[in-house]
Amino acid sequence: MINFPKPTVEQFFRTYMITNFSVSSDEKRLIFSANLNGKMNLWAMNLPDTYPYLFAHHDESNSFIKFDPENRYVIAGFDKDGDENHQIFAIPSEGGLPQPLITGESTEKYFFSHLSDDGKRIYYMTSEENPSFLNARVRHLEDNSDELINVGEVSPTNLAAVSDNEGAFVFLRSFANTYVTGFVKVGDETYHLTPDPDKVHVVFEPVFIDDKTIYFVTDFESEYSYIAKFDLETKEFSPVLHIENESVDSLKWDKKNNVFYLTTENGVQDDLYRYDLQSTKLDKLITPVDVIEKIQVTKSGHIYMLGRSATVPHNVFQTTNGKEWTQLTNNRVLGLSQADMVEPDVVSYTSFDGMEIEALLFKAKPENDNGHTIFWPHGGPQASERKFFRSMFQCFLNRGYTIFAPNFRGSTGYGSSFVKLVEQDWGEGPRLDCVAAIEWLFENNITDREKLFLVGGSYGGYMSLLLHGRHAEYFKAVVDIFGPSDLFTFVNSVPAHWKPIMDRWLGDPERDKERFIKDSPVTYLDGMVKPMLVIQGAKDPRVVKEESDQIVEKLKSEGREVEYLLLEDEGHGFSKKENEINVYSRMLEFLEKHQG
Ligand SMILES: CC(=O)N[C@@H](C)C(=O)N[C@@H](C)C(=O)O
């Protein structure tokens, strides 16, 4: 009777990002961080009522939310326009405007670590006086005094757990994403959590289950991360629970029931388990989403979860029995059902050296298919493309583009050795995995040789630039979203607390000069002959504006076709709805222009 047009770009971008949440100890209030009114703010629901109301108005991205155990205040972290210089603010218990609590110069960082059980002391990390390695401090809220408790040394050192009696402190020291040691400080004594800190491994998610026992996640002498324990009385390390071919990713303690809830990373999706410490029984739980972003277990043993799937945007769910989940938020794509969107196929292909690479293939529905494919190398690079909702993907799929996203070597979710393969090799192995993926798309008639686009962000932007420079013949046009363009300038421009990990992650510009030249996209300027769109946030602290400025300038001076979209009030991502819509509409316009 009434005919409605195809969904517009705007419709896909009217989903909201929920980046974090926290539940009060009495479970009467849930606060979440979302761009519901266009910018990131804190919203609350007075449970069981799920109607959200504005709780704290600050228009900035949030780094943490913590309720005072006695509900006298809430503390939260915010940065400024995506600069990632997070500072700590206090909000009245009934909500309002965040007021600065632990803040300093706009260039300094203040990361929350722990709030004491009585809500009177905040433990935090700061770049103040120690920008590379960070210091740990405690703020006494009763008299506003502030105390230094640890000076970071050797490499960035993060206070990750504090015992209930505030007598033992677990620190994590990062030498790389794949090399993070853990140690516990008790008075003047320090003990390593694993038997040999000189062996490359990671330690994360430390949890005190009492003042003498620390559980944590590690991949010490293992391909997949598992749960281990350190006993402060005997000073003994012991492995506790391995799950075959899955890496434990997070660990939450349910004191009342003496169980752990753990999530595991299993390729392109996550799993949730319940582990009973007494009986050692492990149960896999059914979850409403494929990718779990955060779990909170309350004193009563209820589980709250933030997650998403390929066709389900970020939402918060709750369960009281680990079986049935209630969806507390109703974040959805305007006017579309899950069936209107595309679930990816999980495929694998053989790369140049015989290595099997997993990938996500999102096929445009036949009624929408425009015959073109977008090749998407993910960011990180030590991250992966997973079954999570991206409004950009679903919008482009609806416009008829098929999308292919390979988890090239260096991606997470496939074991510790696989992640390390990108270290000191940003431009060879992973690039050849991308080239093999492209040939596989052609051989399997998924993609027409004349109809391939290349789009990537961050490391994916770097890979897009590099593939463009070295293999331009494959692509019709290229979109680079804040990608490093020159490894020599990139290595020196990252935040101070990343610098100590750059050697293992990327390399040393003097020692590895030849490789830096070989793997820098700017080396292949002559090959970048296809139309390009470059997108950059002016406040990006990870891949600074100069990385995009310089490639755009150089391409322009060579007379190449390049468009540049610079967002003044964004960092390493697009947090403001207006900017997000602007970016993705511009990308769509660019792709459509170059389809012919
Ligand atoms: C140190 C590190 O691994 N940082 C990544 C999370 C990161 O931000 N990488 C950038 C370059 C990206 O690809 O997103």
> Tens digit of pLDDT for each residue in 141-175?
999 999 999 999 999 999 999 999 999 999 999 99
Q: Taking residues 492-496, report their average pLDDT.
A: 96
pLDDT at 135: 98
| pLDDT greater than 90 at residue 368 | yes
Cα of 543 vs centre of ligand 1, distance in Å, is 9
Q: Atom of ligand 1 at shortest distance to CA of 501?
A: 1
- C-alpha angle 129-135-137 in degrees, rounded to nearest 5: 110
Banded model confidence at residue 13, pLDDT cuts 50, 70, 90: confident
| pLDDT greater than 90 at residue 473 | yes
For 210-241, b where at least 16 C-beta lie within 10 A, e where not — what string? eebebbbbbbbeeebbbbbbbebeeeebeeeb
Q: Atom of ligand 1 at shortest distance to CA of 460?
A: 13
Type and span of the H or E element at 186: strand 179-186
| pLDDT greater than 90 at residue 95 | yes
Banded model confidence at residue 376, pLDDT cuts 50, 70, 90: very high
Model confidence pLDDT, tens digit, residues 14-40: 899 999 999 999 999 999 999 999 999
Q: Taking residues 314-338, report their average pLDDT.
A: 95
| pLDDT greater than 90 at residue 5 | no
Task: Read off the DSSP letter of residue 501.
Answer: G
| pLDDT greater than 90 at residue 121 | yes
Task: Read off the DSSP letter of residue 96.
Answer: B
How far is 579 from 562, CA to CA, in rounded Å? 20
How far is 24 from 1, CA to CA, in rounded Å? 49
* Token couple for 323: 């079986």
pLDDT at 32: 98
Cα of 277 vs centre of ligand 1, distance in Å, is 35
Model confidence pLDDT, tens digit, residues 226-264: 999 999 999 999 999 999 999 999 999 999 999 999 999
Q: Taking residues 456-480, report their average pLDDT.
A: 98
Is the CB of 379 inside a 6 Å radius of any atom of ligand 1? yes
- C-alpha separations of 196 from 183, 186, 200 in Å: 11, 19, 9
Indicate which residue's Cα is closest to atom 14 of ligand 1: 380
| pLDDT greater than 90 at residue 12 | no
Q: Taking residues 359-388, report their average pLDDT.
A: 97
| pLDDT greater than 90 at residue 321 | no
Question: Is the bond leading into 48 cis (omega within 30 degrees of zero)?
Answer: yes
Q: Atom of ligand 1 at shortest distance to CA of 461?
A: 13
| pLDDT greater than 80 at residue 436 | yes
Model confidence pLDDT, tens digit, residues 497-521: 999 999 999 999 999 999 999 999 9
Indicate which residue's Cα is closest to atom 5 of ligand 1: 380
What percentage of the chain carries pLDDT values higher than 90? 97
484 Cβ contact list (under 8 Å, min separation 6): 459, 461, 462, 490, 521, 543, 547
Tell me which of 376, 498, 542, 574 to substitute to probe ligand 1's pocket, judged by most ligand atoms within 8 Å of the beta carbon. Answer: 542
Q: Taking residues 465-480, report their average pLDDT.
A: 98
Average pLDDT, the chain: 97
| pLDDT greater than 90 at residue 451 | yes
Banded model confidence at residue 4, pLDDT cuts 50, 70, 90: confident
Cα of 117 vs centre of ligand 1, distance in Å, is 34
Q: How many residues does the chain have?
A: 596
Q: Taking residues 417-439, report their average pLDDT.
A: 98
Model confidence pLDDT, tens digit, residues 541-577: 999 999 999 999 999 999 999 999 999 999 999 999 9
How far is 344 from 364, CA to CA, in rounded Å? 10
Q: Atom of ligand 1 at shortest distance to CA of 484?
A: 11
pLDDT at 6: 80
Is the CB of 459 inside a 6 Å radius of any atom of ligand 1? yes
Tell me which of 422, 426, 458, 490 to substitute to probe ligand 1's pocket, judged by most ligand atoms within 8 Å of the beta carbon. Answer: 458
| pLDDT greater than 80 at residue 9 | no
Q: Taking residues 62-81, report their average pLDDT.
A: 97
